[in-house]
Chains A and B, each alone.
Chain A
Amino acid sequence: MTTRCPTPERRLSQRLRQTTAARWRPRLPSQAWLLAMLLAGFALGAQAEGVRSAAMLSHTCAGCHGTDGASAGAAMPTIAGMDKGYLVKVLEDYKDDVRPSTIMGRIMRGYSDQEIAAIASFFADRPWVSTERPIDGELAYQGELIHQQRCESCHADGGRGQDARSPRLAGQWGPYIQYALETCRARGESCKKRQGAERVMVLEDAEIQALAHYYESQK
């Protein structure tokens, strides 16, 4: 047994050994008891530090992003079933003010990096739910032409593909996509670091509208 640099968990388990173990030692073989108390010590240590579960943290998001991250619309994106790496990156960028926001930065500054990873995992594990709204076929077709020409190389399979750099777009709320594209275009230089941003910069209003509608039409 070492006494060097005790972590809080270790200090607690030592205290438990010193107090409780002294009373009970005759009833258990010492090695088994040591193991049991170490486990108990770690469990108690975790509780005392107040580690918040992924579900506890993530349920606070549902008021704006829908139960389990499936948004009821329309400016709020669905975040269920998104790529975990993408969610971590976006949430951390909000926290660090790298990604401008109206409100997400204010909220994400309340969480540690570990908590952000837990939240990202929680939503990545939920099922994606596409919107169910009437689609204007002509507008969606206009959008598809733009998509095939400029976006499919990263947002593959009609926007269904996703990875840590490219979010799923198929079945997402059109008004959110429109807002996100317009925001990137309005930011100009400061958005250009993001993958695909040069292509967003040159889009006309009508093109953005058509693209957003196309992605919403894809389920």
Chain B
Amino acid sequence: MSAQQPMNPSRRRFLGSVSRAAAGGAAVSLLGAPAILHADAPKARVVVVGGGYGGAIAAKYLKLADPELRVTLIERNPVYVSCPLSNEVLSGERNMESLTFDYRGLSRRGIAVMGDEIVEIDPEQRFVRGKGGAVYNYDKLILSPGVSFDFSSIDGMSAELADSTLPHAWKAGPQTLLLRRQLEAMPDGGVCAIVAPPNPFRCPPGPYERAAQIALYFSHHKPKSKVMIYDAKDAFSKQGLFQAAWKEHYGDMIEWVPAAAGGNIEAIDADSMTLVGPVEDFEADVINLIPPQRAAELAVNNGLVDDSGWCPVNQQTFESTLHSDIYVIGDAAMAGAMPKSGYAANSQGKVCAMAVAAAINGQPAPAPSYVNTCYSILAPDHGISVAGVYELKDGEIVSVPGAGGLSAADADARTRAIEVQFAIGWYRNITADMFT
């Protein structure tokens, strides 16, 4: 996916005018959507950078909270490809088209959707600058930039290798398809190794759902093959439910090697397809190395992260504690007890949008409410979930005691099958919430 893909003509025309205006040194006014052409003096300009599970929602709910706001959503890709459910592409249960969305629905809501990659933030002059030089002024800026990968922490690994031979596929897109092709090309009896990252990282149950989806493919087409998970951790999300389901559906096909058993991968030799652990080395036919993560480069390069590599934010509003009038939501932000998940980003986008609208209208920040719901599909008739309900306590996002938790360990087959239907319903609704 790249910014060079064709855009619709009106967007291209508009970008041209922005670039010309920027080149001429003129102040850039963003008249991206017909709905705001007549609005000479908007109440306030809110720029949202990143059109995924957090940013698309923040833009939409800003407009719902206050239709008079001029909302601009800046996204570098012309279409969005969903990470949630993309593991099903690996098993062949789903295609990429079903994961792909455009921004026309948000444009129809009066949001100016701009195809651009933001490379610079000026928190003093309050503007962001795109790769081509276009300048976007803001009164409030919301960033939902996602994660970046720390390739250097694993010796021998690089971004280039991820694109060519060792896909992480942790941002759905070309690498998802590359990994699928590698699995298809692998001989029966081969080994697919998943290297699972240390906490915190995007989608905590993701590597373990992926193991099941790959095993689902193997069980139909390459039954003598194995899925090995080499983990930087000694425990993982929904662990008991995962391990029981792996055994039930795939027998001994999936094997998990925790850090304590030498699973913490320190280096990789791409030529010999060998993973180097602290105790022993492991060879594999397909390697899906999911690197350690931190906030996206945009946040790192513009002074929005602390020593942890993530963005510290006010937990009630998601305003950065490092720069005022800049808000960070989604995986890049540190949000107390909330995991880095799509539903968490959705929930944070709404809390942030309401806080920004309140601030612009001179009102106090509203009392927040947050929820997370994550489904994992382990077989066509076996779904599991984790839910969390959160509240603000002493300035921190904490779980509401007694609420949330996992699917029952002893649930019957009918319940497991229904949870797959709910996972698909979750996906249909959360993407409709974002893009319509």
Contact = CB atoms under 8 A, between A and B. Distances in A.
B337 interface: no
Given A53-B367, A56-B351, A72-B428, A62 B418 contact: no
Nearest to A72: B432
B95 interface: no
B426 A64 contact: yes
Contact of B432 (A50, A59, A66, A109): A66
Interface residues of A, number: 34
B403 A110 contact: yes
B421 interface: yes
Contacts of A102: 385, 407, 411, 415, 418-419, 422
A67 interface: yes
Contacts of B415: 102
B429 A59 contact: no
B371 A60 contact: yes
A107 interface: yes
A75 interface: yes
Interface in A45-83: 47, 50-53, 55-57, 59-67, 71-76
A102 B241 CA distance: 14
A19 B425 CA distance: 55
B261 to A, nearest CB: 32
A76 B403 contact: no
A74 B373 contact: no
Nearest to B346: A63
B21 interface: no
B430 A103 contact: no
A67 B433 CA distance: 5
Nearest to A56: B369
Given A103-B373, A186-B414, A60 B347 contact: yes
B433 A56 contact: no
Interface size bracket, B side: 35 or more
| Most chain B beta-carbon contacts within 10 A, residue among A50, A53, A61, A73 | A50
Contacts of B389: 107, 109-111
B403 A107 contact: yes
Contacts of B430: 63-64
A175 interface: yes
A57 B369 contact: yes
B350 A75 contact: no
A65 B424 CA distance: 12
B61 A59 contact: yes
A52 B366 contact: yes
Interface string B354-373: 10000000001011111101
Nearest to A47: B364
Contacts of A86: none
B161 to A, nearest CB: 35
A106 B404 contact: yes
A33 B424 CA distance: 58
A103 B375 CA distance: 10
Given A51-B367, A52-B368, A179-B418, A73 B343 contact: no
Contact of B367 (A52, A63, A107, A110): A52
B380 interface: no
Contacts of B405: 106
Contacts of A110: 371, 389-391, 400, 402-404
Interface string B11-46: 000000000000000000000000000000000000
A76 B426 contact: yes
B369 A74 contact: no
B301 interface: no
A47 B415 CA distance: 41
Given A75-B425, A76-B429, A106-B387, A56 B354 contact: yes
B368 A107 contact: no
Contacts of A62: 346, 350, 429, 433
Interface string A89-128: 0000000000000110011111100000000000000000
B436 interface: yes
B370 A60 contact: yes
A190 B384 CA distance: 24
Interface string B256-269: 00000000000000
A153 B60 CA distance: 42
A47 B365 CA distance: 9
Given A74-B428, A103-B387, A63 B351 contact: no
21 contacts: A50-B392, A52-B369, A56-B354, A57-B369, A64-B422, A64-B429, A65-B429, A72-B431, A74-B421, A75-B424, A76-B426, A76-B428, A102-B411, A103-B387, A106-B404, A107-B389, A107-B404, A108-B403, A110-B371, A110-B389, A110-B400
Interface of B: 60-61, 343, 346-347, 350-351, 354, 364, 366-371, 373, 385, 387, 389-392, 400, 402-405, 407, 411, 414-415, 418-419, 421-422, 424-426, 428-433, 436
The 8 A-B pairs of least Cβ separation, nearest first, read A110-B389, A110-B403, A72-B432, A50-B367, A60-B371, A76-B425, A75-B421, A110-B400
